[in-house]
Amino acid sequence: MFWADKIAASSQQPELVNDSKTPSGRVHVGSLRGVIIHDVIYRALKRQGKPARFTYGVDDYDPLDTVPRYLDAEKFSPYLGFPLCNVPSPDPTVAPDYAKYYMGEFLQVFDYLGVKAEIYYLRDLYREGKLNYYIDLFLRNAAVIREIYKEVSNAQRPDDWYPFQVICENCGRIATTYVSKYDGERVFYTCREDATDWVKGCGYQGWISPFNGNGKLPWKVEWVAKWDLLGVTIEMSGKDHSQKGGSRDVANAICRKILKKKPPFHSPYEFILVNGTKMSSSKGIGSSAKEMADLLPPEILRFLMLRTQPKTVINFAPNYETITRLFRDYDALLNQYVDLLAKGEISELPPTLLPLYYSQLEDEIKPYYTFELSTIISLLQIPHLDLKAEIEKRCDRPLTDYDWQKINERIDVAKKWLESYADEEEKLVIYFDQIPEKVSLLTDEQKQYLRRLREYLETVNRWEGEELQTALFTVTKEMGISPNVAFPAVYYAFLGKDKGPKAGYLFSYLDKNFVFKRLEEVSSL
């Protein structure tokens, strides 16, 4: 069974699926995994006819704890420690404050991916007094919470520590304040100089009401308040929060001990690794969620996130191999669906096709001609070529407007990939006007291969990738030469290097006479 359907199948109550994000800067593509996982669980529940809602919280009362490298440090460092909703917007014409600015960018990606969550902001919950009940409850139970921190995560809090941080009335910071008393109506706090190692407090002290937005609960405690206020029943969390003794364990224990309630269903999900390193939003290595959405069509980006079950790491690097395989894997499922459709065997989707189903933005799979991305990437690099005509020539049926819409999307992907992601090594540079110098490396055996290949290609019926590829192999067998020796000869002759795309396909992109001439020239050197 598909992972999300399994979760949905075990549901026996109306569900509220929740996820959240601190809008501390540009959101990394890694954060999309949680969004898509929760979205797919929500869709799976609905598919099984179970009542469900999907909410997404913006944790904008969290402090700004670092100035991202792409912002002006001088302008933003004075706001370190401020709640994110009180930090100025990087561009006030786009959004009124910092939190809304970065969340706005992320929410555009939600729209793009067809994620229909109900969005709420923590500033509203606090300021409208919706969390007052919990603030009072947890302040009164400070001793129990201190005990839970110690028992569950081995974190020692001083005896006068209260689970609350006030927004300092003097300096506006929330990260630096320490609450040490609660009289049932007001808390006593100190804005401490040594509160954190990344920002200093101003030293102010005073009594203030903790209610109606004057401060916030620490986020592990806040998490529990949110669950109960909203009625959350399903919330997964990243591996980093799900370790034994980690934040989720602390929150679960608070939920059980103080609220005397069962915490929401939870299962940890793994990271997305890019080139083997964890993508973290603070590092920002040029793969923000928005950048990925700019590169990949929405159903392909969803597919990348959901085809791997949550407990398995996703390895993704936008290199040639990974990106062309992603499209190929998607196409294989779509074509499988089309075959079933043609046979009239589609009363119920087989489990193998559910990743395809949940990749769609709506509850309908709309087939299209799956023209290979790798071919488009190659064709785009051949000069003086009528791309549309070449594509049409390679399709075995006439293309509809919708086919063209999807092919044009792929042309955009290929263009962007070539411009922004392709290594020089991955680009196809064909030596049209001159013979590459590297052909001096060819052995006599390799030259013989090219000569025999030239003769054999005369007999090929159609100048088309698959058939040419077969021809290249046939000649190696006939001569008893290894393809590992033979094919580099072809690449040297046309690309000046020892690797390239499938040689048969490479030939199919090129003019037949040019191929013949080059093979003749090189083999007779």
Contacting residues toward Zn ion, per CB under 5 A:
168, 170-171, 191, 201-202, 204
Q: How far is the CB of 190 from Zn ion (least distance, A)?
A: 9
Choice between 86 and 237, CB closer to Zn ion: 86
Choice between 202 and 418, CB closer to Zn ion: 202
Choice between 170 and 470, CB closer to Zn ion: 170
Burial 294-307 (b: 16+ CB within 10 A, else e): ebbbbbbbbbbbbb
**Scanning the structure block, which residue is given the tokens 């927004």?**
167
* Strand 215-216 with 118-121, pairing: unpaired
How far apart (Å, rounded) are the C-alpha atoms in residues 465 and 504?
Answer: 5
Q: How far is the CB of 212 from Zn ion (least distance, A)?
A: 19
CB 178 within 8 A of CB 190: yes
Residues 6+ apart with CB under 8 A from 62: 22, 24, 83, 84, 122, 216, 219
Instruction: Tell me the C-alpha to C-alpha distance, in Å, between residue 513 and each of 35, 313, 463, 518.
Output: 53, 48, 11, 9
Rounded (10°) CA dihedral 139, 143, 146, 151:
-140
How far apart (Å, rounded) are the C-alpha atoms in residues 68 and 374?
Answer: 36
Choice between 201 and 501, CB closer to Zn ion: 201
Nearest alpha-carbon partner for 222 in 142, 299, 164: 164
Q: How far is the CB of 167 from Zn ion (least distance, A)?
A: 9
Q: How far is the CB of 194 from Zn ion (least distance, A)?
A: 13
Choice between 201 and 246, CB closer to Zn ion: 201
Q: How far is the CB of 201 from Zn ion (least distance, A)?
A: 5
3-class SS of residue 370: coil
The length of the chain, given as a count of residues: 525
Choice between 210 and 310, CB closer to Zn ion: 210
Residue type, 444: D
On the CB side of 414, CA atoms within 13 Å amount to: 22
Choice between 171 and 472, CB closer to Zn ion: 171
Q: How far is the CB of 168 from Zn ion (least distance, A)?
A: 3
Beta-bridge partner residues of 140: none
Q: How far is the CB of 84 from Zn ion (least distance, A)?
A: 17
Encoding tokens for residue 96? 């009124």
Q: How far is the CB of 297 from Zn ion (least distance, A)?
A: 48
How far apart (Å, rounded) are the C-alpha atoms in residues 370 and 189?
Answer: 63
Choice between 167 and 376, CB closer to Zn ion: 167
CB 358 within 8 A of CB 4: yes
**Scanning the structure block, which residue is given the tokens 């990243």?**
238
CB 199 within 8 A of CB 238: no
Encoding tokens for residue 466? 């698959």
Q: How far is the CB of 172 from Zn ion (least distance, A)?
A: 7
Choice between 109 and 167, CB closer to Zn ion: 167
Q: How far is the CB of 82 from Zn ion (least distance, A)?
A: 10
DSSP 414-470: HHHIIIII--GGGS-----SS--GGGGG--HHHHHHHHHHHHHHTT-SS--HHHHHH
